[in-house]
Amino acid sequence: MTLVLHNVRPWGGDAADVTLDGGVITAVGPVAVEGAASGDPGSKPAATVDGRGRILLPSFSDVHVHLDSTRLGLPFRPHTGTPGVWNMMLNDRNNWRDAEESITERATHTLGAMIGRGTTRVRSYAQVDADAGLERFEAVLAARETHRSRADVAVIAFPQAGLLREPGSAEVLEEALVLGADVVGGIDPCALDRDPVRHLDIVFGLAEKYGKPVDIHLHEPGQLGLFSTQLILERTKALGMQGLVTISHAFCLGELPDAQLDELLADMAELDVSVATVAPASPLPLERLTAAGIRVGLGEDGQRDYWSPYGNADMLDRTWQLAFTNKFRADGLIEHCAAVATIGGASIIDPAAQRLGSVADRPGLAMGDPAELVLLEGDTVTAAVMDKLPGRTVIHRGTVVADGLQLA
């Protein structure tokens, strides 16, 4: 079905009419005069969305979200965790089964809220370990199924508790892959499992066995993080997995001396290893990552869960956080954050998809591009990021899947 987005402003530029058909953008042209007749007497009238002069962007791509831990929509609970990945994991483990609603209901609610706010491409973790088994993984699969016509969701089988500290962890990770997980997860090979060789043997061994990409949470700081990253790059090269490995968080990238960072970024770019960030308080060198040719995407991480009270299912809000933590003020840099949150993330989900070429690049809205789109209120893209207004229209595969929805 043909859909015309009437009077919209691609990337905040001049007003245009944008035509969608077959899940892609088929035309971008001048705004038609209201009531004008079609030049083709035999053509069928297209459905029309009144853009009202709103900004048109590619839809958001959340490439680092934990749908299996969310408490959005439930009564607020005080934070009870203590610092450290293992301690926070235990706090979550002690609480997640006692929520007012099941994990399936919570994941489904949060995914729906994300879609309503403009996200149609998602990469979600699902914790698999000796305690949870496949329960959390199956909940994320159920949420994906509920919203299958509204968003594309890739599921990462994620060993949050590590792979070596508890018997059976590697086995349940493999079971999730047998049942259809899209990505093999890993976490802190040195700091958590304290045996990077064995940890990466399991992660990359399963990736090779099942033909899956890899995504590794790397919270490790400084030189320790550099060491783990170098080991990950060695495995990527040895197995020919260029373009199929993502390092999430990668906090060490913001802590290395310039010479070490430049060398590491060059190696990552050569092997096409991507980075998923959540806009942490200590920012990554975003401009240098882009300049090096590294695919960078953005995610919301946990959504008001047992790890953190932050998160509201709104990638526009997380885009603001990315700009804020990087201390960006220039419009071009703030718009770059929007590009990372949209097209940047899409290229992590699909390495063959269009990529950001530079900080000034604003792709995704030309003829032939996927009809994954969101309409936002705002004078400019920067204004939209600052104000985060409701009234959004969300389009997935050329069809409106949300219009003006927002969390209460």
Residue 349 amino acid letter? I
Q: Is the pLDDT of residue 146 over 80?
A: yes
Tell me the pLDDT tens digit for each residue of 317-366. 999 999 999 999 999 999 999 999 999 999 999 999 999 999 999 999 99
Give the whole-angstrom CA distance, residue 178 versus residue 33: 55
Q: What's the pLDDT at 45?
A: 62
Mean pLDDT for 18-34 is 94
Mean pLDDT for 281-289 is 96
Q: Are 292 and 270 in contact (CB under 8 A)?
A: no
Average pLDDT, the chain: 95
Dihedral over alpha carbons 208, 125, 178, 194 (to 10 degrees): 60
44 confidence band (pLDDT: 50, 70, 90): low
Q: What's the pLDDT at 38?
A: 47
Q: What's the pLDDT at 33?
A: 81
Is the Cα torsion angle 393, 396, 400, 403 positive or negative in sign? Answer: negative
Angstrom distances, CA of residue 249 to CA of 59, 127, 237, 353: 22, 17, 21, 22
Mean pLDDT for 103-112 is 97
Residue 233 amino acid letter? L
Dihedral over alpha carbons 85, 89, 92, 97 (to 10 degrees): 160
Mean pLDDT for 293-304 is 96
Count the helices and strands in the chain (H runs, E runs).
12, 16
Mean pLDDT for 144-157 is 98
Q: What's the pLDDT at 41?
A: 47
In the chain, the N- to C-terminal Cα span, in Å, equals: 32
Tell me the pLDDT tens digit for each residue of 309-318. 999 999 999 9
User: Residue 147: helix, strand or coil by DSSP?
Assistant: coil
